[in-house]
Structure 1
Amino acid sequence: MSNNGLIQHIRNPPKPSVPVVVICRLLLSAIPIAQIAIGSVYLEDCPRNHYIPIYLIVVGVLGVVLSVVSCLPGTRQRKDEPSTPLTRLCKIWNVLTSVFIFCWFITGNVWIYSIYKPDYKKNTTNIEQYCNKTLYLFAFWTTTLVYIILGLSLVCGCCILVCRFVFGYEDPDDG
């Protein structure tokens, strides 16, 4: 494949089929829905830091809302189309929500990692040190999963760049 073909492929990537998009959205919505459910069920079960279930509920709701908003018709703008008020509003919404999610994520990191390892056994002498094991470990691992995914993406991206430079594509005009 020549550089021109590759560049055209990057500029106009093939569109996935609707069933693939729907299945991916459902799978990606599973974690935010679980965050809402676990945060709601264990809302009062972490006296050590009562913000952890609230963190899970808010991040879960925002995840579901972003997933739903991205599926709405008219929220995507093609390069050759003029901007509409709806697409501008969606862009502003996405920027504001993304900034809030980033700040909320950092705050959640502080709340979760600052109490590592809470006491999982509830009794009258340590009630202030207690946090439900399911709640805490779910919050801990979903937060840690974000770092794992970011790390893997960074490593994969660097590998692709290195391969691209090492095994670069040869232009047919180059002799």
Structure 2
Amino acid sequence: MAGNSVMFIGGCVILLVTAFPIVQISLGAVYIYECPVAPVIPVYMMVYGILALLVMGLFVLPKLLCPAWPGNTIWTLSILNLLLLYFIVFIYGSYMIYSIYPPNYNKNATDPNSNFSAPDNKLSLTLKNQNQILPNLNQTWIANNNQTSRKLIQSLALSNKANVEHLNPPQARQVMPAMLHCDQTVYLFAFWTTTVVYVFAGNALVTLICLYGFMKMTNMLSERFTI
């Protein structure tokens, strides 16, 4: 009866621990093309989850299948290599996540700082054509009548003004380039899971330092009082 309870509790723990990497792999696969601003983030989540499952498998499966198995050098080297690769992937993924914080979540958002390429090209082409026509007209008509040339220049100026006013805001917004985005679900999941790992690692490090200092202080006090 007790053995069954232990097995049930162990199975629940394994299920909860493995659910987290499986969710990472699933989200990374579903949203793999939904983060153009940082395409590495969905791939990072998939690789991170796969490495986590492999590390847990190497730690747990031999003990579950054969509790008396002592292990060997190949098994130890495999775990060390996976842990090293896990650490490298985690550091690189953290850099990619925090470097774009906060990203744009709106897929259809446009960049307000961009220049209007299409209207400007149209306007510049109109001005260029008019400037090419103007010298030829001046050479023909200015010699005959200065008043005619002044009227021509005024009409060209009015035409340029009308072209500028014709570029209304809706047309300008249509040619503004879209901002690169990242899906909110995949980014926030990657951000908070990575942050939680850093929090736990920081707490563990502080706890180890405090325990080490406490043990050293206890040893020093015990040596002094024994003398």
2:106 aligns to what SS in structure 1? coil
- Kindly tell me the number of residue pairs found equivalent between the two proteins: 152
Contact 2:58/2:79 (CA < 8 Å) preserved in 1? no
Aligned partners of 1:147 and 1:124: how far apart in 2? 32
Please, which of 85, 88, 106 is the counterpart of residue 73 of structure 2? 88
Name the TM-score, length of structure 2 as normaliser.
Answer: 0.58
Residue of structure 1 equivalent to 2:52: 63
The answer on 1:99 being equivalent to 2:108 is no
Residue of structure 1 equivalent to 2:101: 116
Residue of structure 2 equivalent to 1:152: 203
Give 1:159 shift: 2.0
* Structure (1 or 2) with the greater helix fraction: 2
Contact 2:106/2:181 (CA < 8 Å) preserved in 1? yes
Task: Give the alignment's Cα RMSD to 1 decimal.
Answer: 2.9
Aligned partners of 1:116 and 1:65: how far apart in 2? 30
Residue of structure 2 equivalent to 1:138: 189
Kindly name which structure, 1 or 2, has the bigger radius of gyration based on alpha carbons. Answer: 2
Name the TM-score, length of structure 1 as normaliser.
Answer: 0.73
The answer on 1:72 being equivalent to 2:39 is no
The answer on 1:36 being equivalent to 2:87 is no
Identity of aligned residues (%): 34
Residues 70-95 of structure 1, C-alpha deviations (whole Å, 9 max, x = no match):
223379998xx6x7xxx222112112
Give 1:137 shift: 0.7
2:62 aligns to what SS in structure 1? coil
Aligned partners of 2:218 and 2:109: how far apart in 1? 64
Aligned partners of 1:61 and 1:103: how far apart in 2? 14
Aligned partners of 1:115 and 1:48: how far apart in 2? 8
Contact 2:25/2:45 (CA < 8 Å) preserved in 1? yes
Contact 2:55/2:83 (CA < 8 Å) preserved in 1? no
Which segments of 5 or more consecutive residues in structure 2 lack a partner in the other structure? Answer: 1-5, 112-177
